[in-house]
Structure 1
Amino acid sequence: MSDHRFPCESCGAQLLFTPGQTTLTCPYCGQEQTIPEGDAAERRNALREIDFVSTLARMEEAADHEETRILACPNCGAQTEFPEGVQATTCPFCATPLVAAHAGTHRHIRPAAIIPFVLDEAQALRAMREWLGQLWFAPGGLKDYARAERRMTGIYVPYWTFDAATETAYRGQRGDNYTVSRMVIRNGKPTTVTEIRIRWRAVRGRVARAFDDVLVLASQGLPRAHTDALEPWDLTALRPYRPDYLSGFLAEGYQLGLREGFVIAREKMDRVIEQDIRHDIGGDHQRITEKATEIRDVTFKHVLLPVWMAAYRYRNRSFRFVVNGQTGKVQGERPWSGWKIALAILAALLLAGLAGWGYQWGVENGYISP
């Protein structure tokens, strides 16, 4: 990871990015510095879609790189920056203690665009507390954690976005329901019953889909299920990347490469294409026996998205909570309280036993017909 420092011209303290604003502010003397927006050409260049095929061949030579002093967390794999002079810290992703003895360097491609933080730490804490307060069977310590004035870490998380045009030829079967009636004997009496059956017929066709900004997490420090649950992001808020937005925050370098990222993007695209095929087949049931997808005009962007993070340790395990720094949506792992679950099961059994006893008593005393 890397952080960026901008000294105040008046007192020399570090200027910090203000979430929801376009300024850097000195926390001591209050001096403000406006972050340049850049001209229209710079914005178009930062947000342009980059050709995927040609870039794979030349990206290492053509892209801007930067190096940071990092240590990979032995627990979650996240790469944490170690500034000069720091010998020990904790991993912001899972709260595992880290020491600088085995720190190395990480060379990575600079991002092209960024969504700056909209929510500040206080707003993220409120969102997390509300989410934690709704959890059933959580340990009491977790609720104490939610009420305490805990710090959260603001991290810009790396993503790839992919665009592509696809066309898929398919073969399959369409199933349409129909009903038949027949006579059966039940309890010695003839009864008419209705059955639903399926009439299948072979189908074939083509579907086309243009994909725009398919997001793929490029970090290994966060569970993909958590970050996927933070979607949707408003990608129209992307701005050209400037280090100013990182002041006071961390920015993780990507660990999932471009090729690997596109594999995941294709899996997302394939799921959408399958739904398109089923819709195109129509009917009540669909079988897809064969499909072949042609993909072209693949482009990508490397972007940073804002996430507030907290880690809670319970019984020697780390549980992470993440808050979308743009929308306030919360997702996370959660510990379960064994004794609360056992108490709930015991209460349910007790209620079931009382209900059974009440039924039996009612039958025996003539209040309930057996």
Structure 2
Amino acid sequence: MSDETTAPAEPSMEEHRFPCEACGADMRFEPGADRMVCDHCGNVAEIEGLGPSPWGIAEQDYRAALRRPDGLEQEVTRVLSCPNCAAQIEFSPEVHAAECPYCATPVVTDTGAHRHIKPQAIAPFVLSEDAARRAMTAWLGRLWFAPNGLAAYARKGRRMSGVYAPFWTYDAATRSRYSGERGTVYYTTRTVMRDGKPTTVRVQKVRWRRVSGAVARAFDDLLVLAARSLPKGLTDALPPWRLSDLVPYTPELIAGFRAEGYTVALEDGMDEARAEMDRMIARDVRFDIGGDRQRIHGIETQISDVTFKHILLPIWVAAYKYNGKSYRFVVNGQTGKVAGERPYSIWKIAGAVVLGALLAGALGYVAAMSG
């Protein structure tokens, strides 16, 4: 018997291409349906077994993953690294040139591969591109001082890109001991001179008492965006996400879309999650201290049972250049919620200033005449 051990096999390259059986053209996943369609001949292929797992999405042990990262299921994909926003977007092998969906930067794709932790779950697109575009143009139409031409350009402009963005989710149990002070507001009276007369006024004061105690909280599916390609202000505006719609990862759901590879490491994502945990624990401590005012002197937290998942969530992205400037808009692919970089029209602003000045002058004239 040989004493040699067999090294784990390198994961194969995921192509995420599904040729139509009728004409050979690439099929794409149809948002809101459990099927793929061929835009060339109209052929339809159902996706079998699509739906939430009756056992849920399995959590993975965080500390075990840090000790043995090679023990996690991984995949290799061919990606483009955008030189402008640093997004790592997956592309099919036959693609030789493309444009970054996040910032519209023209780039030439690399033929290299990216090895990463394989996603465990994915929330399929629910909104079609047309529905996402309608949501975006309606949002633009509600913006004060936005250029009229931008909304029109968005309506008839280039196609939006459907991108599955990478996220980490973290679960944890925490128990925190704290020390601080509880403040109770009370009032006294004193006499002051006003207009030459003595006047009694109420004065607010706070009586402080030292306190200590403990709070506990279980965190479930704390979301952390695992990429830095989009401004945090945009992505933070897209929740809530319907994580109940997560289904086990299957490449058929990515057909016709792009998947962004994570650039925030698992451990770095946990640092961000821990900061959010600390904020929520501090809020719990203030509630537990009670009273009218609270002072926190110190919190010591023990964290246990930390688990994680790597998931993909759907975002429609539009990057437009208007009058020499780029604007980016994102739409939640589940709910249609929109966020974007706000454009301004100098002509509308100037018009509003002039109108305000005229209105102020008219009011001043009326007041003068009535006086």
Residue identity matched to 1:22: D
The 1-side partners of 2:15 and 2:245 are apart by 22
The CA distance in 1 between the partners of 2:111 and 2:228, in whole Å, is 18
CA displacement 1:57-102 (0-9 Å, x = unmatched): 112x1223333333321221112345445443211001111124x6
Map of 1:73 onto structure 2: 82
SS of aligned partner of 1:266: helix
Question: SS in structure 1 opposite 2:268?
Answer: helix
Does 1:272 pair with 2:284? no
Counterpart in the other structure of 2:3? none
Question: Across the two proteins, how many residue pairs are aligned to each other?
Answer: 359
1:50 corresponds to which letter in structure 2?
A: Q
CA contact (8 A) 1:162 1:300 kept: yes
Q: Write the distance in 1 (CA, Å) between the matches of 2:41 and 2:315.
A: 28
Partner of 1:55: 65
Alignment partner, residue 196 of structure 1? 204
Is the contact made by 1:64 and 1:109 (CA closer than 8 Å) also made in structure 2?
A: yes
Q: Distance in 1 between matches of 2:89 and 2:243?
A: 26
Asked if structure 2 preserves the Cα contact closer than 8 Å seen for 1:203 and 1:281, the reply is yes
- The alpha-carbon distance between structure 1 residues 163 and 252, as it changes in their structure 2 partners (threshold 3 A), is same
Residue 317 of structure 1 and its aligned partner are, at CA, apart by 3.3
Please give the secondary structure, in 2, of the residue aligned with 1:132: helix
- Distance in 2 separating the partners of 1:2 and 1:314: 36
What's the counterpart of residue 28 of structure 1? 40
> Residue 39 of structure 1: CA displacement?
9.8
Alignment of 1:1-370 (within 5 A): 4-37=16-49, 44=55, 47-59=57-69, 61-100=70-109, 104-148=112-156, 150-363=158-371
- Give the partner amino acid of 1:31: N
**Secondary structure at the counterpart of residue 269 of structure 1:** helix
Whether contact under 8 Å (1:70, 1:80) holds in the other structure is: yes
Provide the alpha-carbon RMSD of the alignment.
2.2
Distance change in 2, residues 1:125/1:159 (3 Å): same
Contact 1:169 1:291 in 2 (8 A): yes
> Whole-Å Cα distance in 2 between the matches of residues 310 and 348 of structure 1?
34
Paired residue secondary structure (1:229): coil
Q: Secondary structure at the match of 1:323?
A: strand
Q: Provide closer, same or farther for how the CA distance between residues 126 and 170 of structure 1 changes in structure 2, counting only shifts above 3 A.
A: same
69-78 vs 297-306, which moves further: 69-78
With the length of structure 2 as denominator, give the TM-score of the two structures. 0.90
TM-score (normalised: structure 1): 0.90
Letter in 2 for 1:178: Y
> 3-state SS of the aligned residue for 1:151?
coil
What secondary structure, in the 3-state scheme, does the structure 2 residue paired with 1:122 have?
helix
* Larger CA deviation: 338-347 vs 189-198: 338-347
> Equivalent residue for 1:367?
none
Deviation for aligned residue 1:266: 0.5
